[in-house]
Amino acid sequence: MTDAITPDPGGSLRSESPPGDSETPDLRDTATMAPDDRGCPDDGFTLRDEPSRSLIAIRRDFGKYELINELGRGGMGVVYKARQKDLDRVVALKMILSSHLASRDQVARFYAEARAAARMRDPNIVGIYEVGEHGGQHFFTMEYVAGKSLAQVIRGVPMGIEEASRLVMIVARAVDSLHKQGMIHRDLKPSNILLDEAGNPSVSDFGLAKLLESEERVTASNAIVGTPGYMAPEQAAGRGGQVGPASDLYSLGAILFECLTGRPPYDGSAPLETLVRVLEGEPPQPRQLNPTIPRPLEKICLKCLEKDPGDRYASARDLADDLDHFLRGEPVEATRGGPWHRLRRWARREPALASRLGTMAACGIIIYLNHSLIAYTQSASLRSFVVVVNWAMASFLCQHLLQRPRWADLGRYVWSATDVVLFSLLVYVNQGLNTAMVSGYFLIVSASGLWFRERMVWLTTLLSVAGYAALAIGQGLPEGYDSPYRHFVFASALAASGFVVSYQVRRVRALSCYYDPRPLP
């Protein structure tokens, strides 16, 4: 018996096994929808509505439809498996939760989704049958697809190279058809790609779709809509005016990435952390995660995931054509940029290492300019360079640990501790607390917040205070000071900065927990 897949009312897809052979339909009242495998609600940032009773528990007949069982619900709508009695066919019926209480904007968004889906004409796009109202309940019905979603097929395991390429090629042609009909999807992801029993894909769920020529804005133009791991940077930044067909191309690249590697390109521990990675980071090289991926296919994938929309394919058809060239063994059009472009991509992909190496290079230049013409400080300059070189080597080793999932958390803590220890040593060999370089402690504490872990901030703060205290004790009072008041003020300010950074991290994590029910690490 196959699984049944229907669009998720909250902006994703859910799988529900059909009722058994019993004549009595399964009339379960599902109060909430489970999060997806990564813990993020599939509708991105839609709040969940949890009514005490389901409509199906009240009545089974809904006009000319017989409600069979509830498939899922989200913040605005609920989807039922239903039988259309006059045509004797199974459909997916979606309606607004508590229509008599629904706001005008909710009803407008509901009908915008129905109109968006209804205007689509493509064999690989889930079709819509009817839009209407019954007993004050707004609804529309759509094709009921028996099979599995692409997310269920992947489940953390890479697909075959040809299978993944062919599937994304078909989806890209469907998306190109959608674009030609004046529509952008804005929420393409594996759970919105339905596979029938023969493995043919269909694009579904137009809850966040947008008419290209429409001036209406059901949601705010600067609102972040979509699913964090699959949305384009311009979409994640809330720049609604820049969201267009190229944004869907980015999502297609993210889908291809997951098909090839078994994981999305960005998979933070919380949705807001994922958004930051989408905006500022760079996905890992697919071949690092799956060495069997051919280089031409990796180029195609990375071209779709470019930060600048102008660097992606010009259209979804161009992407489909390039995938077709790859499958035929022909040269692909995807090209990588020059050395500067590759350097920028590496820096975004490894921001922790790149930022540290950049800081060390700046420190090296300053130390050289400061000491090169002063003979009695040349030995201090040499010692400084030794510290910087060892710091760089330690950073490379810590970066290596981060790339090993088993050692990633340990690598972060070791890296933070190493930064404080070696920076304290660098200050010590450069005139100690008499140099303005000591203010770098504040930079280290602030940078620790980029790990999005409160304990990491406190560890870095405590080590920084301890490092400063060790320098103060070892050096004694600086010339011109007759009390330890200066040290007390500096250490207190350092601790206060750690408290502020930790508090901000806690707020971000709390917001992420609001959208993501998983326990935070």
> Average pLDDT of 51-73?
69
pLDDT at 27 over 50: no
Answer whether residue 207 is part of any domain: yes
Which residue out of 187, 321, 322, 516 is catalytically annotated?
187
pLDDT at 225 over 70: no
Answer whether residue 170 is part of any domain: yes
> Average pLDDT of 310-329?
92
The predicted structure's pLDDT at residue 47: 31
**Residues 141, 11 within the same domain:** yes
Q: What is the CATH number of the domain that holds 237?
A: 1.10.510.10
Contact (CB, 8 A) for 171 and 193 = yes
**Residues 395, 505 within the same domain:** yes
**Residues 211, 299 within the same domain:** yes
**Residues 382, 297 within the same domain:** no
The predicted structure's pLDDT at residue 313: 92
The predicted structure's pLDDT at residue 12: 36
The predicted structure's pLDDT at residue 219: 44
Count CA atoms closer than 13 A to 258's CA, side-chain side.
Answer: 25
The predicted structure's pLDDT at residue 432: 73
pLDDT at 332 over 60: yes
Residues composing the chain: 521
> Average pLDDT of 141-152?
83
Torsion, Cα 225 231 234 237, to 10 degrees, reads: 50
Of 88, 67, 89, 86, nearest to 78 by C-alpha is 67
Answer whether residue 311 is part of any domain: yes
Q: Which of 302, 337, 372 is the last residue of a domain?
A: 337
Most confident range (mean pLDDT) of 188-197, 359-368, 438-447, 456-465 is 456-465
Among 75-79, 141-145, 220-224, 284-288, the least confident range: 220-224
pLDDT at 29 over 60: no
Q: Which residue has the higher pLDDT, 36 or 282?
A: 282
pLDDT classification of 65: cutoffs 50, 70, 90: very high
Answer whether residue 162 is part of any domain: yes
**Residues 20, 142 within the same domain:** yes
% of the chain at pLDDT higher than 90: 21
Among 14-23, 294-303, 382-391, the least confident range: 14-23
E strands along 223-379, which residues? Answer: none
What are the Cα distances from residue 437, in Å, to 320, 391, 479? Answer: 54, 16, 17
> Average pLDDT of 116-138?
77
**Structural domain containing residue 41:** 4-146
Mean pLDDT of the chain, nearest integer: 75
Domains in the chain, number: 3
Answer whether residue 230 is part of any domain: yes
**Residues 160, 85 within the same domain:** no
pLDDT at 461 over 90: yes
Q: What is the CATH number of the domain that holds 137?
A: 3.30.200.20
pLDDT classification of 142: cutoffs 50, 70, 90: confident
Contact (CB, 8 A) for 466 and 437 = no
pLDDT at 8 over 70: no
> Average pLDDT of 164-182?
92
Answer whether residue 284 is part of any domain: yes
Most confident range (mean pLDDT) of 5-19, 144-158, 196-210 is 144-158
The predicted structure's pLDDT at residue 25: 34
> Average pLDDT of 212-216?
43
Amino acid identity of residue 262, one-letter, is G
Q: Which residues define the annotated binding site?
A: 94
Q: Is 176 a catalytic residue?
A: no
**Residues 453, 499 within the same domain:** yes
> Average pLDDT of 325-330?
91
**Residues 168, 131 within the same domain:** no
CB count within 10 Å of CB 373 equals 8
Q: What's the Rg (C-alpha) of the chain?
A: 28
pLDDT, one tens digit per residue, over 360-387 is 777 667 666 666 655 455 556 678 778 8
Cα 127–chain centre separation: 28
Answer whether residue 342 is part of any domain: no
pLDDT classification of 16: cutoffs 50, 70, 90: very low
> Average pLDDT of 4-9?
42
pLDDT, one tens digit per residue, over 420-434 is 999 888 888 877 777
Of 261, 294, 292, nearest to 158 by C-alpha is 261
The predicted structure's pLDDT at residue 494: 92
The predicted structure's pLDDT at residue 28: 32
**Residues 50, 185 within the same domain:** no
Most confident range (mean pLDDT) of 45-54, 131-140, 221-230, 472-481 is 131-140
Among 150-154, 275-279, 496-500, the least confident range: 275-279
CB count within 10 Å of CB 171 equals 27
Of 291, 303, 400, nearest to 350 by C-alpha is 400
pLDDT at 293 over 70: yes
Instruction: Return the DSSP state at 47.
Output: P
Among 146-160, 251-265, 333-347, the least confident range: 333-347
What are the Cα distances from residue 57, in Å, to 81, 83, 133, 302, 398? Answer: 14, 16, 19, 48, 56
**Residues 192, 131 within the same domain:** no
The predicted structure's pLDDT at residue 310: 85
Answer whether residue 238 is part of any domain: yes
Contact (CB, 8 A) for 99 and 138 = yes
d(CA 189, CA 256): 10
Among 13-17, 106-110, 165-169, 487-491, the least confident range: 13-17
**Residues 409, 426 within the same domain:** yes
The predicted structure's pLDDT at residue 373: 55
d(CA 166, CA 320): 9
pLDDT at 209 over 60: no
| Coil, strand or helix at 21 | coil
Contact (CB, 8 A) for 206 and 12 = no
**Residues 185, 102 within the same domain:** no
The predicted structure's pLDDT at residue 258: 95
Q: Which of 304, 337, 370 is the last residue of a domain?
A: 337
The predicted structure's pLDDT at residue 41: 35
The predicted structure's pLDDT at residue 169: 96
Among 213-217, 292-296, 433-437, 502-506, the least confident range: 213-217
Q: Which residue has the higher pLDDT, 372 or 487?
A: 487
pLDDT, one tens digit per residue, over 239-276 is 767 788 999 999 999 999 999 999 999 876 667 777 77
Q: Which of 290, 307, 337 is the last residue of a domain?
A: 337
pLDDT classification of 336: cutoffs 50, 70, 90: low
